[in-house]
Chains A and B, each alone.
Chain A
Amino acid sequence: SAVISQKPSRDICQRGTSLTIQCQVDSQVTMMFWYRQQPGQSLTLIATANQGSEATYESGFVIDKFPISRPNLTFSTLTVSNMSPEDSSIYLCSVEGARTGELFFGEGSRLTVL
C-alpha cells in the first residue's frame, strides 16, 4: 500500500490569502489526484496531476484558483488561491496503488477560511 503524507493537516486562513498543500508519497506514482470534500458533503475531483505535464482540471475547477505542481514522481502541491469562506473544505491527495483500481488517500488537509 502507498503511504501518503499531507501538510498541513489543518489550517485557519484569512480571506484573500493563498495556501499551499503538500502531498508526499512513499513510492513513485504516475498520477496523483486532488479531491475536495466540502463540509458535510462528498468528495469531488479537482484535478489529475502527472509528472512533467500540466494538471488536468475537472469541470468547475480552474488553474488560476487551484494551481498544482508535480515536480517529481513522489510529490505534488495544490495551492488554494485568493481564498474565500466557500473554500473551507478538506483537501485530499490520492494515488493509485500497485494493484489496478486501488486508490489510496491521504488523511486530508482541513482548511478553514475566515
Chain B
Amino acid sequence: AQSVTQPDIHITVSEGASLELRCNYSYGATPYLFWYVQSPGQGLQLLLKYFSGDTLVQGIKGFEAEFKRSQSSFNLRKPSVHWSDAAEYFCAVGDSGGYNKLIFGAGTRLAVHP
C-alpha cells in the first residue's frame, strides 16, 4: 500500500530564509504527488502537483517541488519565506496510481519568525 512520510512535524524559519519541507513516498510505479497547504481555520489549497515530465514543478505562492525517483522524495521548497506562509503543509500521493483519492502525510507545521 502507498504511504507518505513527512519527517518533520514542526519547522521554524525566519522570514526571508529559504525553506525545504521533506516528503517521502512509497509506491512502485510513478506516483501522482501533491503538496497542499492548510492555513488556520481554512480548507486545503493545492500548491502544486507532479504527474509526469519535468521533475521540477512550479506552484503557486512561489513554491516549487522536485520529484526524485531514486530517493522516493518530493520535497517542497521556497527561496524566501514570508510571514503569511505560516501554515500546515501536507504532502499527498494518489491512491493506487490515481489522482482523485489521496493518501496524505502527517503534515508539517511551519512557523515563521519575523
Contacts and interface: CB of A to CB of B under 8 A. Distances in A.
A101 B32 contact: yes
A48 B49 contact: no
B83 interface: no
Contact of B106 (A41, A96, A101): A41
B43 A43 contact: no
State which size class the interface on A falls in.
20 to 34
Contacts of A4: 43
Contact of B44 (A45, A101, A105): A105
B104 A96 contact: no
A66 B76 CA distance: 34
A42 interface: yes
A91 B103 CA distance: 15
B103 to A, nearest CB: 8
Interface of B: 32, 34, 36, 41-46, 49, 51, 90, 94-95, 99-107
7 contacts: A41-B107, A43-B90, A92-B43, A101-B51, A101-B100, A103-B34, A107-B41
